[in-house]
Amino acid sequence: MSDAAIDTVRTRIRMDLRAAMSAKRMDEVGVLRTLLAALDNAEAVPVAPERYTERAFGDPATEVPRKVLSAEDVAAILKAEQREDVTVAEALERAGRAEDAAKLRDAAAIVARYLADPES
């Protein structure tokens, strides 16, 4: 995944989200929203409360640029989301909840679409 592919992945997820919403595939909508949230959260800058200084409303000094994710960061985030779905699905299988496990395996398959060929 190249650095240019990061925007491509986010754009593909958003396009697929719109299509899933139009088709009322709510399970897919949930997975895609989770992926977008994971990417957005990874770009957030950590808060340093010990260095907090009160500022006037609208002071531009409070604006902090978001982190720029590398291609490896994006791939790691997607793999972590997929791994979590598979791990929980395995636990649900052992607990006898095959239907719930199948939903999570489907979610992992959706994430795999963005790992397999991010530029298509």
Give residues with Cβ within 8 angstroms of 88, minimum separation 6: 104
Task: Report the distance separating Cα 83 and Cα 89, nearest Å.
Answer: 10
How many Cβ atoms are within 10 Å of 104's Cβ, its own excluded? 22
**pTM of the predicted model, to two decimals?**
0.79
What are the pLDDT tens digits along the chain (120 aa)? 555 666 789 999 999 999 999 999 999 999 999 999 999 999 888 776 666 677 777 777 666 778 888 888 999 999 999 999 999 999 999 999 999 999 999 999 999 999 875 454
Q: What Cα–Cα distance (Å) separates residue 29 from each residue in 51, 112, 117?
A: 39, 15, 20
Among candidate residues 43, 34, 38, the one with its CA nearest the CA of residue 16: 34
List of domains in the chain = 3-44+70-116 (1.10.1510)
